[in-house]
Chains A and B, each alone.
Chain A
Amino acid sequence: MYSSARLNIHYQRKHHHVYQFAILFLLIATGFFSFVRCFGDSMKQLQIVVLTAVAYAFWGIFHHYYERDLNWKIVIEYCSIALLGIGILWALILFVH
């Protein structure tokens, strides 16, 4: 049985969870539209990839910090996926420059 105070905290966390995913969605949408707008300028596109990937890694770290389950494994996981994204796009764009 949850006490009403605990339930309140639970609902608040759930709300914040939704807000945080909304922020992530916004970050990703902004990254995508900026990328499309920079069609033809591959260096700018690469900068947008790096910025979006860094923002995504920071979002992950903040999200887990807020959820109180942040540890090094999670930090490495988010950073690895961000680096994978940068690595793939960088390798592709390197063909041009």
Chain B
Amino acid sequence: MINFFKHLFIPHHTNNFKAKLLHADFLAVYVLIFFIFSLSVRTISKINPNILGFATDIQTDKLLILTNQKRAESGLNPLALDNRLSTAAMQKAADMFANNYWAHNSPQGKTPWDFINGSGYVYTVAGENLAKNFADSDGVVQAWMNSATHKENILRSEYSDVGFAVVNGTLNGEETTLVVQMFGNKLSAPEIAQAPVAKTTEIIPPTQAKADEVSLGTQYLSEENIYNKISTIGSVPTPPKPVEILPIAGSVVKSPIFDIGKISKTLTLAIASILMIILAVDAVFVWKKKVVRVGGKNLAHLLFLFLITGFIWFMSFGSII
């Protein structure tokens, strides 16, 4: 038994003076074990996500606080939660689940602005950020802040309002938690009232007022389009037609019995740590016994495995667009 463990863990004449667990064939076995584990977990979580699934705790209140915190750090005004924007976000999430897509524009050509218009929110500038499958609210906001274009949306000074939807559903056959964040700056009632006569009013700074510019989730309306939009809403100064406000999807909190994220990270960290320990033991043994052998550099392998553990630690399961 002792010899067997020596064969596995310590350089020995039976393993050509290199721990058997470090041989190339064993490394291939680790990869195979991990793939089998991944496939099994994936299959079980599809069958019963309440037993084996991703733990999630995303709340709109927290998203609003974190968004405003990032804006405050940049010296910007806080955004106010707007029910119409939240309804638009909710409808967008429902549309993504219904039509099975993960994009700013639907396969039918519906844009984020259609949802905002449909909610009755009349805007001069609007934007959208999307996220899916994050474990918590901090992860969502952090991921957006790491992306230049999403960060630009969060830190845009023109915005005054924001709306959120956090919805759980099935997207492309997978249980998915979607987060939709919609920004806007509403056209005030007096501006709507004056719009048909005051056609020369500059509502949007000329440098930004590109006609219907849609750049990754942001839209500025040209003056002409604002007036077109106003005219479609109804006779000015009558307020916009009331729309049905959907109940706001406030949060998704899931606590499956076994959390895939935690289990996978723990398992991979364990494999990498065991390998690093064996490599370190191997290096000390070879150095102490002055073993001459042909092989790679343990220090290099250790550095690489250390990097892999860092990758696992900082890995994000979620994605943003």
Contacts and interface: CB of A to CB of B under 8 A. Distances in A.
A84 B131 CA distance: 29
A87 B311 contact: no
Nearest to A61: B296
A76 to B, nearest CB: 5
Nearest to A79: B24
Contacts of B196: none
Interface string B288-310: 00000011110111011111101
B35 interface: yes
A42 B260 contact: no
Interface in A22-49: 24-25, 28, 31-32, 35-43, 45, 49
B307 A31 contact: yes
B188 to A, nearest CB: 35
A74 interface: yes
B241 to A, nearest CB: 37
Contacts of A69: 294
Contact of A43 (B35, B305, B319): B319
B294 A74 contact: yes
A89 B31 CA distance: 10
Given A56-B304, A87-B34, A35 B314 contact: yes
Interface residues of A, number: 47
A41 B303 contact: no
Among the interface residues A36, A37, A92, which one has the most CB atoms of the partner chain B within 10 A?
A92
A92 B260 CA distance: 10
Interface in A41-96: 41-43, 45, 49, 52-53, 56, 59-60, 63-64, 69, 71, 73-74, 76-78, 80-85, 87-89, 91-96
Given A32-B311, A87-B34, A41 B143 contact: yes
B268 A97 contact: no
B248 to A, nearest CB: 24
Contacts of B146: 37-41
A42 to B, nearest CB: 5
B133 A96 contact: yes
A68 B264 CA distance: 40
Contacts of B41: 95
A16 B299 CA distance: 16
Interface string B105-135: 0000000000000000000000000010110
B315 interface: yes
A8 to B, nearest CB: 24
Contact of B42 (A32, A43, A52, A95): A95
A40 B205 CA distance: 32
Contacts of B297: 60, 63
Contact of B304 (A42, A85, A92, A93): A85
A34 B6 CA distance: 39
A60 B296 contact: yes
A30 to B, nearest CB: 10
A24 B299 CA distance: 10
* A-B interface, 9 closest residue pairs, ranked by CB to CB distance from nearest: A40-B143, A87-B31, A91-B38, A80-B27, A80-B24, A77-B296, A85-B308, A40-B320, A28-B307
21 contacts: A32-B311, A38-B146, A41-B146, A41-B319, A42-B319, A49-B311, A52-B307, A73-B294, A74-B296, A77-B296, A80-B24, A81-B304, A87-B31, A88-B30, A88-B268, A89-B308, A92-B315, A93-B317, A94-B38, A96-B317, A96-B319
Interface of B: 24, 27-28, 30-31, 34-35, 37-38, 41-42, 54, 131, 133-134, 139, 142-144, 146-147, 260, 264-265, 268, 271-272, 294-297, 299-301, 303-308, 310-312, 314-320
Interface of A: 21, 24-25, 28, 31-32, 35-43, 45, 49, 52-53, 56, 59-60, 63-64, 69, 71, 73-74, 76-78, 80-85, 87-89, 91-97
